[in-house]
Structure 1
Amino acid sequence: MAADSDDTLPPQGRFTRFRKLAGLSAQLGAEVLKSGARRVVGQEQELLSKGMAEKLVATLGDLKGAAMKFGQAVSMDPDLMTPEVRQVLARLQNQAPAMGYETVARVVREELGAPPEALFREFSREPLAAASLGQVHRAVLEDGRAVVVKVQYPGVGDSLLGDLDNVGLMVKTVSKAHKRMDGTAYFQEMREEMLLELDYRREARQCQGFVRGVARLPDLKVPEVIESRTSGRVLTLELLEGLTLKDWVVTEPSAGERFRVARQLIRAIYGPFFCAGEIHADPHPGNFMVMKDGRLGLLDFGSIKRFSERFVDANRIMFVQAMNKEPMDVLRLSRQVGFTVDMPDAEAEGLIREMLAIVGRPMHQEAYDFATCDINRDMRRYVTQNAGSILKIRPPAEGVMFFRSTGGLMHNLKLIGARGDFRGVYMEVAGLLA
Structure 2
Amino acid sequence: MPSDPSDLDDKLPTQGRFTRFRKLAGLSAQLGADVLKSGAKRLVGQEPELLSRAAAEKLVTTLGELKGAAMKLGQVVSMDTEFLSPEVRQVIARLQNEAPPMPYEVVARVLREELGDSPEALFREFDKTPLAAASLGQVHRAVLQDGRPVAVKVQYPGIAATLSGDMDNLGLVVNTLSKASRLTDGTAYFQELREEMLLETDYLREAGLCTAFARGVARLPELEVPAVISERTTRRVLTLELLQGRTLKDWVVSEPSAEERFRVARQLILAIYGPFFTVGEMHADPHPGNFMVLEDGRLGLLDFGSIKRFSPHFVDANRRMFLHAVRLESMDVMGLSREVGFTSELPDAEASELIQEVLHIAGRPMRATSYDYATCSITRDMKLHFARNAARFLKIRPPAEAVMFFRSTGGLAQNLRLIGARGDFRSVFQEVAALL
TM more than 0.5: yes
Cα distance, 1:8 vs structure 2? 2.4
Q: Distance in 1 between matches of 2:82 and 2:205?
A: 35
The aligned residue for residue 356 of structure 2 is 353
Cα distance, 1:239 vs structure 2? 0.2
Q: Does 1:429 align with 2:432?
A: yes
The aligned residue for residue 261 of structure 1 is 264
Q: Distance in 1 between matches of 2:110 and 2:251?
A: 32
Q: Deviations over 1:374-433 (max 9, x none)?
A: 111110011001000111111000000000000000010011100000000000000000
- Match for 1:282: what amino acid? D
SS of the aligned residue for 1:144 comes to coil
Q: Distance in 1 between matches of 2:72 and 2:357?
A: 31
Cα distance, 1:44 vs structure 2? 2.3
Q: Distance in 2 between matches of 1:250 and 1:197?
A: 30
Q: Distance in 2 between matches of 1:341 and 1:256?
A: 44
Q: Does 1:111 align with 2:141?
A: no
Q: Distance in 2 between matches of 1:4 and 1:69?
A: 27
Q: Distance in 1 between matches of 2:194 and 2:73?
A: 13
The aligned residue for residue 159 of structure 1 is 162
The aligned residue for residue 7 of structure 2 is 5
Q: Distance in 2 between matches of 1:340 and 1:212?
A: 34
Cα distance, 1:3 vs structure 2? 5.3
The structure 1 segments of at least 4 consecutive aligned residues displaced by more than 4 Å after TM superposition are 1-4
The aligned residue for residue 341 of structure 2 is 338
The question of whether the paired residues in 2 share the 8 Å contact of 1:212 and 1:276 is answered with no
- Match for 1:105: what amino acid? A
Output aligned runs, 1:201-280, within 5 Å. 201-280=204-283
SS of the aligned residue for 1:327 comes to coil
Structure 2 gaps of 5+ residues are: none
The question of whether the paired residues in 2 share the 8 Å contact of 1:310 and 1:336 is answered with yes
SS of the aligned residue for 1:48 comes to coil
The aligned residue for residue 97 of structure 1 is 100
The aligned residue for residue 77 of structure 1 is 80
Q: Distance in 2 between matches of 1:327 and 1:202?
A: 41
Q: Distance in 2 between matches of 1:4 and 1:324?
A: 62
Cα distance, 1:325 vs structure 2? 1.3
Q: 1:45 aligns with which of 41, 44, 48?
A: 48
Q: Distance in 2 between matches of 1:92 and 1:68?
A: 7
Q: Distance in 2 between matches of 1:90 and 1:144?
A: 33
Q: Distance in 1 between matches of 2:50 and 2:210?
A: 39
Q: State the TM-score, normalizing by the size of structure 2.
A: 0.98
Structure 1 gaps of 5+ residues are: none
Cα distance, 1:248 vs structure 2? 0.4
Q: Distance in 1 between matches of 2:81 and 2:187?
A: 28
SS of the aligned residue for 1:251 comes to coil
SS of the aligned residue for 2:329 comes to coil
The aligned residue for residue 297 of structure 1 is 300
- Match for 2:19: what amino acid? T
Output aligned runs, 1:341-420, within 5 Å. 341-420=344-423
- Match for 2:221: what amino acid? P
Cα distance, 1:42 vs structure 2? 1.0
Q: Distance in 1 between matches of 2:45 and 2:29?
A: 25
- Call closer, same or farther: CA 1:309–1:2 in 2, change over 3 Å: farther
Q: Deviations over 1:162-207 (max 9, x none)?
A: 1100100000000001221111000000000000000000000000
The question of whether the paired residues in 2 share the 8 Å contact of 1:270 and 1:279 is answered with yes
What is the aligned residue count? Answer: 433
Q: Distance in 2 between matches of 1:415 and 1:425?
A: 18
Output aligned runs, 1:105-184, within 5 Å. 105-184=108-187
Q: State the TM-score, normalizing by the size of structure 1.
A: 0.99
Q: Distance in 2 between matches of 1:323 and 1:339?
A: 22
- Call closer, same or farther: CA 1:42–1:205 in 2, change over 3 Å: same
Q: Distance in 1 between matches of 2:321 and 2:90?
A: 37
CA RMSD of aligned residues (A): 0.8
- Match for 1:323: what amino acid? V
Cα distance, 1:159 vs structure 2? 1.0
- Match for 2:426: what amino acid? R
SS of the aligned residue for 1:289 comes to strand
Cα distance, 1:30 vs structure 2? 1.2
- Match for 2:409: what amino acid? T
Q: Distance in 1 between matches of 2:370 and 2:6?
A: 56
- Match for 1:232: what amino acid? R
Q: Distance in 1 between matches of 2:350 and 2:88?
A: 40
The aligned residue for residue 283 of structure 1 is 286
